[in-house]
Amino acid sequence: MIADASSMDRSAFEREFDVCVVGSGPAGITLARRLAAKGARVALMEAGGLEYSDESQDAYRGTNIGMEYFDLDVCRLRYFGGTSNHWGGWTRALEAVDFLPKSYAPLTGWPIGQIDLDPYRTEADAILDVPSATEAPDLPVRQKGYDFHRFQFRFSPPTRFAEKYLGEIEASEAITLVVNANLVDLRLDEGLGRVAGAVFRGYAPADPGFTIRARAYALCCGGIENARLLLNFTSQVPEGVGNRGGWVGRCFADHPHFLIAECVLRVLVREREFYAPTELFMTEHACLNFGLRLEPRWIWPYELPALAREDMPPEEFNILLERLVRDPFVDRALTDRLVLPQPTGQTGVLRIAQEALPNPESRVRLGEERDAFGLRRVAMDWRLSEIDVHTMRTAAMAFGAHMADTEIGRAQVGDWLLADPPRFPGVLDDEVGGKHHMGTTRMAADPGKGVVDADCRVHEVENLYIGGSSVFASTGHCNPTYTLTQLALRLGDHLAARLAG
């Protein structure tokens, strides 16, 4: 069923649920559905409405005080379905090596392995509507040594969780979806070791708020907001909930995304080619994991008018456009844009999307400004580490050498990357990041090194769990939504078993 917290009649919520799931993005919806399928009664609490509103989105405003990053109210969405309302659908599971510690990279490694998430592949595929992994195997690479493997992404349509699951949730007797319900506090019991109730408010300024009681609580508000909320909940614990060890908000990471080399190609590259380092390469070069994208220079739709002859009448331009659309060079992987490689295929670019070191100084902090609910806004202090830069340079140089060795072409590494320190392009000049918000409530077996344990439970709060990529202990180079969907399914199974016990 669906309820609306804007209505002051809150009798529908005055009962105990099994689990209160806060946030209805991919993590929250996946978790709620999994729990419902196992017979649990779930309150699925969503701050926004069923559609976008400025009123809700405003709570995501913040400032960037570290490396240049995206506006914080632009790189995520605050309504039913969450950021899946505009994600791009690039899908790939973290690799086995991403779960293992790297001796030369402090804090890397998870307390779980790929093997713990593998059982959830089939269901994650179905949820995200991606073809089976067998349809995207690694492709052969002609190379001198054993440096790279050539991998493929799988593409989700992309699945919009709101569209796909609204009907099911509306009809569900197990799930009560409450929209316009903003989590503003978590109240702990006397011993401060359990959540006793989650406090929500609607948007009316005089709203006294209401409390949801459940046997367990799961925060699924996105990789920045999970940390921001916990840090704000200081009514009983001055450091914020779950933050005794001081880790909440630390190790914020996005996958750095940059154009690292311009290329002249001897072979025709029609589609993007993806390369990643072998484990041997990473160990030999003491670098992190990365994904390289060798692609032709695309012509973007906004460039087309400039390419048309000045005197070309609109109808001729439309004929040209239609012909281009039918051109086999069109990159079908991008569903919402028309992008064409230059017909000659002779120039290309090398882009990187790479792993980032868990860096405790790269963090979600709280600024002094407050939102409409009195919660302090985010002051984002994003930082890259030396090993991140080393990885980027090593990848560019080694792949450039590989291109020359194998006669693919020549790569000219960007001056900005070779400068010391590197002069990173800003968000107006390059991709910069994937808008993948990770690491701020990191998973660690040792409470002294992270926020949640291997079951995604907050170490110091017996019945509080976290869903989403904020629990990522190491980031790998792959886009996060597939892995966080697997994690949400696994969390659902864990919680259902625990509640039954």
Contacting positions for ligand FAD (CB under 6 A): 22-28, 45-48, 75-76, 78-79, 82-84, 86-90, 182-183, 220-222, 225, 229, 435-436, 468-469, 479-481, 484
Closer to ligand FAD by Cβ: residue 284 or 493:
493
Q: How far is the CB of 157 from ligand FAD (least distance, A)?
A: 11
Closer to ligand FAD by Cβ: residue 222 or 249:
222
Closer to ligand FAD by Cβ: residue 351 or 402:
351
Query: What CA–CA distance (Å, rounded) separates 31 from 147?
Result: 39
Sign of the torsion angle spanned by Cα atoms 185, 229, 486, 105: negative
Q: How far is the CB of 96 from ligand FAD (least distance, A)?
A: 18
Closer to ligand FAD by Cβ: residue 75 or 288:
75
Closer to ligand FAD by Cβ: residue 86 or 393:
86
Neighbouring CB atoms inside 10 A of 118's CB total 12
Closer to ligand FAD by Cβ: residue 43 or 263:
43
B/e letters for 55-71, b = 16+ CB within 10 Å, e = fewer, are: ebbebbebbbebbebbe
Q: How far is the CB of 262 from ligand FAD (least distance, A)?
A: 25
Token reading at 359? 């860096």
Q: How far is the CB of 101 from ligand FAD (least distance, A)?
A: 24
Q: How far is the CB of 225 from ligand FAD (least distance, A)?
A: 5
Neighbouring CB atoms inside 10 A of 195's CB total 24
C-beta separation of 200 from 5 below 8 A: yes
Q: For residue 254, which amino acid is it?
A: D
C-beta pairs of 382-385 under 8 Å, 24+ apart in sequence: 382/64, 382/66, 382/67, 382/69, 382/252, 382/254, 382/433, 383/66, 383/67, 383/359, 384/67, 384/256, 384/356, 384/359, 384/424, 385/356, 385/357, 385/359
Query: What CA–CA distance (Å, rounded) separates 289 from 118?
Result: 20
Closer to ligand FAD by Cβ: residue 227 or 411:
227
Query: What CA–CA distance (Å, rounded) separates 165 from 4?
Result: 17
Q: How far is the CB of 437 from ligand FAD (least distance, A)?
A: 7
Distance set, CA 128 to CA 37, 157, 164 (Å): 18, 8, 10
Alpha-helical runs (H) found in 313-372? 314-326
Q: How far is the CB of 168 from ligand FAD (least distance, A)?
A: 17
Query: What CA–CA distance (Å, rounded) separates 124 from 485?
Result: 6
Q: How far is the CB of 85 from ligand FAD (least distance, A)?
A: 8
Closer to ligand FAD by Cβ: residue 86 or 410:
86
